[in-house]
Structure 1
Amino acid sequence: MKRLVILGAGTAGTMMLNKLSKALDPKEWKLTIVDKEEEHYYQPGFLFIPFGIYDKKDVIKPKKKFFPKEAEVIYSAIDRIDAEQNKVHLDNGQTLYYNYLIIATGTEICPDEIEGMNEDLWHKSIFDFYTVEGAVALAEFLKDWEGGKMVLNIAEMPIKCPVAPLEFVFLADDFFKKKGIRNKVDITLVTPLDAAFTKPVAAKSLGGFLDEKGINLVTEFNIGRVDNEQKKIISWDEREVDFDLLVAIPTNMGSKAIERSGLGDELNFVPTNKHTLQSEAHENIFVIGDATNLPSSKAGSVAHFESEVLFENLMSVIHGEPMKQMFDGHANCFIESGNGKGLLIDFNYDVEPLPGKFPIPGVGPFSLLKETRMNHLGKVGFKWLYWNALIKGRELPLESQMSMAGKEMPDIEPQKTKTLHLNHH
C-alpha cells in the first residue's frame, strides 16, 4: 500500500487531507496526518480577542471534527524528516515511511529571537496576539488599562497575515474611542518597512487611514533589543521608541523540525517552487501554506488558493503526468478598520492591490481598497465559511488564479504617510 503523509493539521494540512481523501482509493493509499495539537485554532479570530469581540471559545474546536474517518491521525511532535530515506521520525518514537510528503508545518512567533523581549515584561506590558495565550492575556490587560503609549512593533518580515498589524491599530483606535480614553492613548505603529504596507498603492491608501485616525507611523525600524527597565524598543541603528504597552509581532519562523531536517532556509521555511508548490530539493515532497518560502502572503486565503493548485499537481504526479497547474501568488484579505467597517485587498505575485469591485466586476458586493460596512460583514462572516466549508476542503466559488476583472488601475503616485522622526542616541 502506498502512503501519503501530511505534516501539520492546521488550515493548509487539513484542507489537503480532506481533498485527497475524496480522490485517492483507500484500498491503494494510506493517508496519515501528524500534528502535536488536538485543538484547531481559527487564527483570524485572535485579532478580535484583545478587544472583547471574541473570546477563547470562539476560536477553538477539536481537530478530529474536521478529519475524514478513513485517515490515520497521529498526535505527536515531529522530530525530523529524513528526505533521502523517505521517512519521518516522530517524537513519540514512531517512524513513518512515505511515497509522498506534504509539509504544512506553518510558522510561529519566536520572541526569544529578540534580546529582552521574552523577559520580565512578557505578557505583563509586552504582549503578542498571534497566540491564543497572548491574545487572552492582552484582553485582560486592556480591560483596566487607563492609557499611555501603545506601540505595535513588527520585528521583521515575513509575518503571518501581513495586514493584521494595521487591523490591530485600527481596532485599538475604535476600542479606546468607545471606552472614552482615546485622548489618553498615543498609538504608534513601528515597522521595518518604508511605508504602512508592502505594496505602494495599498500603502498610500492605508497610510491615509493612519493619518485620519491620528496613529503615528515609524518606518524602517529594525528592532535590535527591548529595554525592560526603561520600557523602550531600540533599533540596530540605536533609534528608540518608548512604550507603556508594547504589542509585539516577533520574528516569525518555520518549525524547528524543518531546521533539524536540514530542509529550511535561515528562518526554517522550506524552499518551494513558487508555481508548482513542489519542494525545490525533493520531487516527492510538496509544501503548502506558511511553511513555504514563497514571496506571497502567509495568510489563510493563500493556503486555500494553493490547495487547489497543489491538489491538481499532486494528482498529476501520482498518475505519472506533468504538473499543469501554476500558483500565481493569489491572496485576498479583509482588513478591519474599526467602527463596523473594513477594507478588502486582492492581489498576486505580479499585481498589487488595486481599487475596484469583488468578486463580480462592477457589482461586488465587496469593494476593493475602500472602507465599507459590507467588507466588515465579509470579515465577520468568514468564520462560518471557514469552519463549515474551507477546512473541510469544499469547493468555493472563487478561482485560485487572480482575475483582473473589476479592478481599476489608479493613476496615482504612491506617497508615504507622515512618519515620526526619532532621535538617535
Structure 2
Amino acid sequence: MKQAVILGGGTAGTMMANHLNKKLDEKSWQLTVVDETNNHYYQPGFLFLPFGKYSEKDVMKKREKFLPKTIAYILAKIEKISPEKNEVYLSGGKVLTYDLLIIATGNDIAPELVKGIDNGWRENIFDFYTFDGAVSLRNKLKTFKGGKMVVHMTEMPIKCPVAPIEFALLADEFFHKQGIRDQVEIEYVTPLPKAFPKPSFAEKVHELYEQKNIRLVTGFALAEIDGTNNQMVGKDGSRLDYDLLVTVPPNKGSEVIARSGMGNARNYVAADPHTLQAKNYDNIFVVGDASDIPTSKAGSTAHFSAEILAENIEHWVNGKPMTAAFDGHANCYIESGFNKALLIDFNYDHDPMPGTFPLPKVGPFKLMEETTINHLGKMAFKQIYWRMLLKGIPMPTVPPNMKQSGKQMPDLQEK
C-alpha cells in the first residue's frame, strides 16, 4: 500500500487530510497525519481573547475530533525530513516512509529574533498570535488603567496581516467601553510605507484610524527594544515610547524545515504558486503558511489552496497533468469595533476592491465597506470553520479561486 503523509494537523493539514480522505483510494493509499500536540486552535479567535469576546473553549478543541478514523493520526515531534530517502523521522526513533508528502507545518512567531524583547515579555510586552500570549494579554488588559498602548508589526510576512490592524480598532472599542479611552493613547507602528501591503485597502485603514484617533506611524524599522526605558529603537536611532506594547514579532516556518535543509532563511519551503508542488521535490507538496508563495499567510488562503491542491494531487497520483491552478485567493473580515467590520477579497493579480460578496448585486456582504452584516459574517465564521472548513466541506458560492463578479473594477467584466 502506498503512503501519503501530512506533516502538521493545523488548519491547512486538517483540511488537506479531509479532502484527500475523499479523493485517495483507501485500498491503495494509507493517509497519515503527524503533529506534536493534540490541541487544535482556531487562530482567528486569538484576536478576541484579550478583549473577553471569546473564551478558551471557543478557540481550542482536540485535533482527533476532526480526523476520520480511516486516517492514521500520530502524535509525535517531527525531527527531520529526508526527501532523498522519502522518509520522515519522528521522536522516539519512529521512521515513516512516504510516496507522497504534504508539508503543512505552519508558521509561528519568533520573538527570540528581537533584541531586548525578553525585558518585559509578558509583563508589558505581549503578543496575541499565540494562545498563551492572548490569554496573558487578556489578564493585563483587565488591570490597564491608561497610558500609551502601541500595536506593532516587526516585519512582513506575518500570519494574517490584517490582525494587528484589527487589534488597534478593537482596543479603541474596548477602552471606550471601559470608560478610559480618553486616558489611552493608541498608536499603530509598522515598517511598511502604509498600514497594509495592498494600497487600496491601506487607504481605508488610514481613514478609520483618523476617525478613531489612532496614531499611525509608518516606515519604522525596529532594531531592538529598550525594555528598561519602555522604548522601541529604530534602525535609524529613532525611539518610540510605550507603556503597553502589543507586538507581532518576526514570523518563521517550522524548525523541522531548517533541520531538513529544505527552506529559505525563514524556513519557508519553495513551492509553485499555482500547483503548490515543492519546486525541488516532485512528490512533495506544500500548503498553508509553510510555503513561500506570495500571498497572505491566512486561514482563508489555506482553505482555498487546500481545495486546489486536493484536485492536483488527485491528478498527480493518477499520472495525469495537474490542471488546477491556485490564484493566490484570500479574503478577510476586518473587525473595526462596535459590531462593524470590513471585508476584502483579493488574489495574486488584483488588490482588494469595492463590490458585493459572494454574489453580485445581492451580496449580502459589502467589500471595502464598514457594515454590521460584515461583522455578523465574521462572528459566524467560527462555526463555519469548526463545522465545515476543517472537515473539507466547501463553502457554497465561494469557489477556491477569486470570483470577478460583483467587484467594481474597470478591468474586470461581470461574469
Cα distance in 2 between the residues matched to 1:154 and 1:243: 14
Q: Alpha-carbon deviation of 1:308?
A: 1.1
Which residue of structure 1 aligns with residue 381 of structure 2?
382
Cα distance in 2 between the residues matched to 1:410 and 1:324: 29
Structure 2 contact 5–31 (Cα < 8 Å) conserved:
yes
Cα distance in 2 between the residues matched to 1:60 and 1:15: 16
Structure 1 contact 354–410 (Cα < 8 Å) conserved:
no
Which residue of structure 1 aligns with residue 334 of structure 2?
335
Q: Alpha-carbon deviation of 1:304?
A: 0.8
Cα distance in 1 between the residues matched to 2:145 and 2:276: 48
Determine if the alignment matches structure 1 residue 245 to structure 2 residue 282.
no
| Residues 356-392 of structure 1 deviation map (CA, whole Å, 9 limit, x = unaligned) | 1111111110000000000000000000000000000
Determine if the alignment matches structure 1 residue 282 to structure 2 residue 281.
yes
Which residue of structure 2 aligns with residue 111 of structure 1?
111
Structure 1 contact 173–213 (Cα < 8 Å) conserved:
yes
TM-score, scaled to structure 1: 0.95
Which residue of structure 1 aligns with residue 191 of structure 2?
192
| Matched residue SS, 1:108 | strand
Provide runs of 4+ in structure 1 moved above 4 Å. none
Which residue of structure 1 aligns with residue 64 of structure 2?
64
Structure 1 contact 358–406 (Cα < 8 Å) conserved:
yes
Structure 2 contact 110–249 (Cα < 8 Å) conserved:
yes
| Residues 124-151 of structure 1 deviation map (CA, whole Å, 9 limit, x = unaligned) | 1000000010000000010111010100
| Matched residue SS, 1:400 | coil
5+ residue gaps, structure 1, are: 412-425
Cα distance in 1 between the residues matched to 2:217 and 2:340: 25
Determine if the alignment matches structure 1 residue 17 to structure 2 residue 12.
no
Letter in 1 for 2:27: K
Which residue of structure 2 aligns with residue 4 of structure 1?
4
Where does 1:312-331 land on structure 2 (aligned, <5 Å)? 312-331=311-330
Letter in 1 for 2:103: I
TM-score, scaled to structure 2: 0.98
Structure 1 contact 55–136 (Cα < 8 Å) conserved:
no
Q: Alpha-carbon deviation of 1:21?
A: 1.1
Structure 1 contact 256–268 (Cα < 8 Å) conserved:
yes
Which residue of structure 1 aligns with residue 99 of structure 2?
99
Letter in 1 for 2:251: N
Cα distance in 1 between the residues matched to 2:352 and 2:101: 33
Structure 2 contact 119–228 (Cα < 8 Å) conserved:
no
Q: Alpha-carbon deviation of 1:34?
A: 0.3
Which residue of structure 2 aligns with residue 130 of structure 1?
129
| Residues 221-254 of structure 1 deviation map (CA, whole Å, 9 limit, x = unaligned) | 1111010100011111111110000001000000
Where does 1:18-417 land on structure 2 (aligned, <5 Å)? 18-117=18-117, 119-397=118-396, 398-409=398-409
Cα distance in 1 between the residues matched to 2:237 and 2:80: 39
Cα distance in 1 between the residues matched to 2:252 and 2:146: 32
| Matched residue SS, 1:144 | coil
Q: Alpha-carbon deviation of 1:410?
A: 7.9
| Matched residue SS, 1:328 | coil
Q: Alpha-carbon deviation of 1:28?
A: 1.2
| Residues 269-316 of structure 1 deviation map (CA, whole Å, 9 limit, x = unaligned) | 101100100001001000000001011001111111101110011111
Cα distance in 1 between the residues matched to 2:410 and 2:345: 15
| Residues 393-422 of structure 1 deviation map (CA, whole Å, 9 limit, x = unaligned) | 1122111111121111389xxxxxxxxxxx
Q: Alpha-carbon deviation of 1:220?
A: 1.0
Letter in 1 for 2:309: L
Letter in 1 for 2:61: K
Cα distance in 1 between the residues matched to 2:187 and 2:57: 30
Structure 1 contact 155–249 (Cα < 8 Å) conserved:
yes
| Matched residue SS, 1:89 | strand
Structure 2 contact 4–101 (Cα < 8 Å) conserved:
yes
| Matched residue SS, 2:336 | strand
Letter in 2 for 1:351: H
Q: Alpha-carbon deviation of 1:185?
A: 0.5
Shifted more, 24-33 versus 195-204: the winner is 24-33
Letter in 2 for 1:293: D
Cα distance in 2 between the residues matched to 1:308 and 1:58: 25
Letter in 2 for 1:304: H
Letter in 1 for 2:231: K
Cα distance in 1 between the residues matched to 2:134 and 2:376: 22
Structure 1 contact 273–280 (Cα < 8 Å) conserved:
yes
Cα distance in 1 between the residues matched to 2:131 and 2:75: 20
Cα distance in 2 between the residues matched to 1:126 and 1:335: 24
Structure 2 contact 38–63 (Cα < 8 Å) conserved:
yes
Cα distance in 2 between the residues matched to 1:206 and 1:361: 24
Cα distance in 1 between the residues matched to 2:299 and 2:8: 14
Cα distance in 2 between the residues matched to 1:23 and 1:405: 30
Cα distance in 1 between the residues matched to 2:193 and 2:17: 39
Cα distance in 2 between the residues matched to 1:278 and 1:134: 34
Question: What CA RMSD, in Å, does the superposition of the two structures yield over aligned residues?
Answer: 1.0
Structure 2 contact 222–233 (Cα < 8 Å) conserved:
yes
Cα distance in 1 between the residues matched to 2:391 and 2:288: 16
Structure 1 contact 355–410 (Cα < 8 Å) conserved:
no
| Matched residue SS, 1:134 | helix
Cα distance in 1 between the residues matched to 2:27 and 2:404: 43
Figure out how many residues of one structure are paired with residues of the other and give that number: 410
Cα distance in 1 between the residues matched to 2:191 and 2:10: 28
